[in-house]
């Protein structure tokens, strides 16, 4: 009887992991639609290709070496046995392959944050080469110091210092934004974005319905992102935790959306949809480091803080001439940091110093190594499309396919 | 024979087309254009950055008319496309040297 219950619990936890992993995979569609909606028509195919390809690169590189770097074991997943029970020191409570599957979709999420920030002017294959480095090395290293529990180059262990990041505000989102920031600094702004006297020129997105769809898809996928990070569901305790996480994740998104919408209305006089969409995501990022401990009201407030912060961050980055077409650095980086800092408010297991040290470690590592990686790639194959290619659009220059051929003036 | 070119506000197209049909005009050509006169553009906002929309969408209607119908056509378009607000548009009248119907080869007023 006891064995039967164990089997059932194993199956349920595995099932839960796989479904949550599938939901996080669905976030890739969300990112693709959001980014496709916020870039111009002439660059849409390129960003879609980038999103599809980076997901594939992430899955492959993480399988080749990333998972091993992050959690130990051999390359090419050779030590993951299908049955987590036979011959293991301690019987696993869910299938080992499910663990890999759940982790790999997080890598892809971190990577896709970069694609939006460098949109409309980075060479496709230069980006994919960076994706190989990020998903095979940069992310797994900082992942090994955080979720992997290893000391940072043997110096200190973040978990011991009180660093807590439940589902990855810092480990996934801020890390992705750090790489994105490195990319944006290396590649520069889109032509015509900033005027000679500091004016910020608007470059409106081509398809706001897609951007909205993408945001809702991300919102749905986030239930898997945060919910799956409970790592179990087959007990009263974990089922309750899962329910709280789902509830808080949703509450934070709602808070972020409203706060951003109202902030935009106050600052600009109009209800800017793109700010509201970024606000939803900001709310989600803000709660991701600690969705298990706050009350629903506090979760809404945390999300709202993210929503207000993201609007100011977007306009500030523009004033600093950091061109981020989709607001990725603001949503994932600035609010990712906020998410980390909010954890000790409701979680005694985390300390402010621990969160800051963790944030600095993650940011310093990812930003620094990304700068190096982008520099090397720039020397080898160039980072940015030529001025003519940027003018005629990446779709024609890099992909040979147009997204909206019947609406283009070329025919 | 005259070519009447009218630049009007897009939402006035249906009214104008009906008014022209009612006085016996049998064919028009319509183009989507952009432009401004003294109306100028307006300022829009995207993620906190202002941008000026200089050129406003308009509709250009071209009608070939016999001299005898010219005044009625001008009157019909002016009435139908009028709103009283700035940006109503303009009518240009130019002389037509020749008209040929491609299907039958008719020329002159018979081709209108």
pLDDT at residue A91 in the model = 72
pLDDT at residue A10 in the model = 92
pLDDT at residue A366 in the model = 97
- Tens-digit pLDDT profile for residues A135-163: 999 999 999 999 999 999 989 999 999 99
**pLDDT of chain A along its 411 residues, tens only?**
888 899 999 999 999 999 999 999 999 999 999 999 999 999 999 999 999 999 999 999 999 999 999 988 778 877 676 666 555 666 788 888 899 999 999 999 999 999 999 999 999 999 999 999 999 999 999 999 999 999 999 899 999 999 999 999 999 999 999 999 999 999 999 999 998 888 899 999 999 999 999 999 999 999 999 999 999 999 999 999 999 999 999 999 999 999 999 999 999 998 999 999 999 999 999 999 999 999 999 999 999 999 999 999 999 999 999 999 999 999 999 999 999 999 999 999 999 999 999 999 999 999 999 999 999 999 999 999 999 999 989 999 999 988 888 876 554
- Tens-digit pLDDT profile for residues A159-169: 999 999 999 99
pLDDT at residue A82 in the model = 62
A&B contacts, CB < 8 Å: 35
- Tens-digit pLDDT profile for residues B62-74: 999 999 999 999 9
DSSP secondary structure, A96-137, as one string: HHHHHHHHHHHHHHHHHHHHHHTTTTB-HHHHHHHHHHIIII
pLDDT at residue A154 in the model = 87
Determine the residue among A202, A203, A263, A328 to mutate to test chain B binding: the one whose Cβ has the most chain B Cβ atoms within 10 Å: A202
CA A354 to chain centre: 22
Q: Which residue has the higher pLDDT, B38 or B105?
A: B105
Cβ–Cβ under 8 Å, residues A211 and A34: yes
Q: A16, exposed or middle or buried, with CB in 10 Å at 0-12, 13-18, 19+?
A: buried
Answer yes or no: do A270 and B50 touch at CB < 8 A: no
C-alpha span between A184 and A122 (Å, rounded): 9
**Closest CA of chain A from B26, distance in Å:** 30
**Closest CA of chain A from B9, distance in Å:** 22
Determine the residue among B33, B44, B49, B50 to mutate to test chain A binding: the one whose Cβ has the most chain A Cβ atoms within 10 Å: B49
DSSP secondary structure, A55-66, as one string: HHHHHHHIIIII
* Minimum CA–CA partner of A204 in chain B: B46
Residues 6+ positions from A196 with CB-CB distance below 8 Å: none
pLDDT at residue A315 in the model = 95
**Closest CA of chain B from A392, distance in Å:** 21
- Tens-digit pLDDT profile for residues B26-63: 899 999 999 988 777 778 888 888 888 888 899 999 99
* Minimum CA–CA partner of B51 in chain A: A202
Contacts of A274 in chain B (CB under 8 A): 46-47
Cβ–Cβ under 8 Å, residues A232 and A260: no
Contacts of A318 in chain B (CB under 8 A): 47-49
C-alpha span between A55 and A309 (Å, rounded): 29
Cβ–Cβ under 8 Å, residues A140 and A193: no
Structure tokens at B38: 């003294």
Cβ–Cβ under 8 Å, residues A326 and A116: yes
pLDDT at residue A411 in the model = 44
* Minimum CA–CA partner of B44 in chain A: A202
3-state SS class at B2: strand
Q: B88, exposed or middle or buried, with CB in 10 Å at 0-12, 13-18, 19+?
A: middle
Answer yes or no: do B47 and A272 touch at CB < 8 A: yes
Determine the residue among A40, A199, A200 to mutate to test chain B binding: the one whose Cβ has the most chain B Cβ atoms within 10 Å: A200
**Strand (E) or helix (H) holding A8:** helix A2-38
Nearest CA to A351 out of A169, A172, A158, A168 is that of A158
* Minimum CA–CA partner of A278 in chain B: B47
């Amino acid at each position: 009887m006891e064995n039967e219950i164990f089997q059932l619990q194993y199956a349920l936890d595995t099932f839960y992991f796989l479904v949550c992993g599938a939901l996080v995979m669905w976030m890739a569609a969300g990112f693709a639609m959001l980014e496709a909606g916020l870039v111009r028509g002439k660059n849409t195919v390129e960003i879609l290709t980038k999103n599809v390809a980076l997901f594939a690169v992430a899955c492959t590189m993480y399988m080749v070496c990333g998972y091993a770097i992050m959690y130990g074991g051999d390359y090419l997943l050779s030590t993951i046995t299908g049955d987590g029970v036979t011959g293991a020191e301690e019987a696993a409570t869910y299938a080992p392959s499910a663990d890999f599957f759940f982790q790999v979709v997080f890598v892809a999420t971190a990577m896709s944050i970069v694609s939006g920030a460098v949109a409309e002017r980075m060479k496709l294959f230069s980006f994919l080469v960076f994706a190989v480095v990020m998903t095979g090395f940069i992310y797994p290293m900082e992942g090994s110091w955080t979720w992997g529990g290893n000391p940072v180059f043997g110096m200190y262990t973040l978990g011991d210092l009180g660093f807590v990041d439940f589902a990855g505000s810092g480990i996934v989102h801020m890390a992705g934004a750090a790489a994105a920031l490195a990319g944006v600094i290396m590649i520069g702004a889109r032509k015509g974005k900033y005027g000679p006297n500091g004016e910020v020129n608007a470059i409106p997105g081509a398809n706001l319905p897609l951007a909205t769809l993408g945001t809702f898809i991300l919102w749905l996928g986030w239930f898997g992102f945060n919910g799956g990070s409970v790592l179990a569901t087959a007990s009263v305790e974990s089922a309750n935790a899962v329910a709280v996480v789902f509830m808080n994740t949703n509450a934070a998104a709602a808070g972020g959306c409203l706060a951003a919408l109202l902030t935009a209305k106050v600052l600009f006089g109009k209800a800017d949809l793109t700010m509201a969409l970024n606000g939803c995501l900001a709310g989600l990022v803000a709660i991701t480091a600690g969705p298990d401990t706050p009350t629903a009201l506090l979760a809404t407030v945390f999300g709202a803080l993210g929503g207000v912060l993201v609007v100011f961050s977007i306009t500030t980055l523009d004033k600093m001439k950091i061109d981020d077409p989709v607001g990725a650095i603001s949503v994932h980086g600035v609010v990712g940091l906020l998410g980390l800092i909010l954890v000790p408010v409701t979680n005694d297991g985390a300390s402010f110093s621990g969160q800051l040290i963790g944030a600095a470690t993650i940011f310093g590592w990812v930003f620094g190594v990304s700068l190096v990686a982008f520099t090397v790639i720039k020397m080898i194959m160039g980072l940015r499309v030529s001025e003519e290619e940027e003018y005629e659009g990446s779709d024609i220059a890099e992909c040979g396919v147009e997204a909206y051929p019947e609406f283009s003036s070329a025919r | 024979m005259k070519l009447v070119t009218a630049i009007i506000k897009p939402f006035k197209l249906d009214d104008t087309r009906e008014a022209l049909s009612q006085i016996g005009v049998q064919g028009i050509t319509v183009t989507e254009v952009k432009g401004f006169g003294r109306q100028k553009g307006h300022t829009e906002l995207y993620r906190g950055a202002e941008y000026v929309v200089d050129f406003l969408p308009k509709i250009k209607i071209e009608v070939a008319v016999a001299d005898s119908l010219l005044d009625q056509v001008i009157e019909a378009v002016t009435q139908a496309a009028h709103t009283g607000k700035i940006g109503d548009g303009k009518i240009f009248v130019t002389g037509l040297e020749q008209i040929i119907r491609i299907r039958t080869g008719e020329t002159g007023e018979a081709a209108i």
